[in-house]
A = this chain, B = another copy of it.
Amino acid sequence: MPDAIVIEFPRAVPEEMRKDVRAKLFYAHPLVAAVELAPDGSAATFRLREPVATPPELLGENARKIVTDMVSGFIPIRHKVYFDQRQVTPRHAGDISRELLDGGHIFRLGQGQYGFGPLFSQLMRVFDGMFRAFGAAQGAAEHAFPTLIPVETLHRCDYFTSFPHAVSFVHHLPESIADIERFMVSSTGKDLAHLDFAAARVENVLSPAVCYHVYHSLEGVRLSPAEAGRTFLCKGKCFRYEAGNMTSPERMWDFSMREIVFVGSREFVAAGREASLAWLTDLLTGLGLKCSIETATDPFFAGDAMKKKLFQKSLQLKLEILVDIPSDGHALAVGSQNIHQSFFGNAFHITQDNGEPVHTGCTAFGVERFVLAFLAQYGLDDRHWPECVRAPYAAAP
């Protein structure tokens, strides 16, 4: 039995694509537990979850297909840095995920599922409060949204063709006492993984972002002549299944998102981006984090993914807040600013007063990631935190 399987690629993976390619290689086979790219990008080493007699044929075939699709569509695109604070030297250098887990501040409860003790959950409220204050300053209307989202709604957001690998489907037993009693009998074992769910209908999924609910709730709305646009402050749990990539609290299946959503004319949404970037710049300067704000692309699955990425990056539709994780120097995306042009206005028939579809944009934070990145650079001792965090933390709850 091979302990590790090496797959060689027809073309080497260019340096700037390796992170993306590695993340996608987890979808080469359900048994993949770990992936490592060769230093020259010409091959990958896979480790499997369970021992197998011979390497699964599909693994090599799928891995080569993933690489070929991604590399053949690759076009280098000009990258822009909007805000650069990477000259900062963080005061903490330890492995924060390890420290949080060992210290009982975070505990793993399942695949990509974590619970948070007092230190972490109070910091989540502190950063959440900063985001809410920005929303209030923008005159945003506060909204709360559900976690479930109908398949039909997410379909209109093009999610199933863009990110099918990340979808969490939800179903329930049929409303029939006979089926339910059959299930009760069969579930007395410990593993439901292989139960027969043939009769189940999937009509809902877990929402991968909060702003989809906003567009859905505005379906058919026409802005009044007095409105350049509307601003929403919203919060919700979000879900993105990331297979074997979910090995630390940096990448959770189940996380909290805060969003400010701008809906209106193109100018209104552009002004929302400007205000967001000005606020973010102040916030990141005040926090003294080693970080940057840069152009980015979404992790589309495959198919015409490169076309979508090219479009997104060349128009600078997506900006990411990247915070340095000092223990090994990689950058963690803790939030983003996105411009969707008229995509959601068209999808949900939301129009400006002139009858044209609205433009939309959003500024989003992954709350747990923001806290994690902050702690990575400052450590767990609150005496070393900047005053803008320490004061509200000390005042909580």
The answer to whether A176 and B62 have CB atoms under 8 Å apart is: yes
A386 at the interface (CB under 8 A from B): no
Give the number of times this chain occurs in the complex, counting copies. Answer: 2
The answer to whether B115 and A146 have CB atoms under 8 Å apart is: yes
List B contacts of A166 (CB < 8 A). Answer: 172
CA distance A183 to B302 in the complex (A): 12
The proximity string for A residues 112-125 relative to B, scoring 1 for CB distances below 8 Å and 0 otherwise, is 11111110111010
A32 at the interface (CB under 8 A from B): yes
A29 at the interface (CB under 8 A from B): yes
A110 at the interface (CB under 8 A from B): yes
The proximity string for A residues 99-117 relative to B, scoring 1 for CB distances below 8 Å and 0 otherwise, is 0000000010111111111
A253 at the interface (CB under 8 A from B): yes
A→B interface (CB under 8 Å):
26-30, 32, 58, 62, 65-66, 107, 109-118, 120-122, 124, 132-133, 135-136, 141-153, 155, 160-161, 164-178, 180-181, 183-184, 187-188, 190-195, 197-198, 200-204, 206, 213, 216-217, 237, 239, 241, 243-244, 252-254, 256, 301-303, 397
List B contacts of A28 (CB < 8 A). Answer: 175-177
Q: List 27 A-B contacts (CB under 8 A).
A: A28-B176, A107-B217, A109-B146, A110-B146, A110-B153, A111-B203, A113-B146, A113-B148, A115-B145, A117-B141, A118-B142, A121-B143, A121-B144, A147-B147, A147-B237, A148-B239, A151-B193, A155-B187, A161-B188, A165-B173, A167-B172, A169-B172, A177-B302, A180-B302, A193-B203, A195-B202, A197-B200
Q: How far is the CB of A206 from chain B (nearest CB, A)?
A: 7
Set B112, B148, B171: member contacting A169, Cβ < 8 A: B171
The answer to whether A150 and B110 have CB atoms under 8 Å apart is: yes
The answer to whether B148 and A217 have CB atoms under 8 Å apart is: no
CA distance A216 to B301 in the complex (A): 34
User: In the complex, what residue of chain B is closest to A186 when comparing beta carbons?
Assistant: B160
CA distance A332 to B73 in the complex (A): 58
CA distance A24 to B180 in the complex (A): 12
List B contacts of A147 (CB < 8 A). Answer: 147, 206, 237, 239, 254
- Most-contacted residue by chain B among A150, A202, A302 (CB, 10 A): A202
4 closest A-B pairs by CB: A121-B144, A160-B187, A172-B241, A110-B150
- Most-contacted residue by chain B among A176, A177, A244 (CB, 10 A): A177
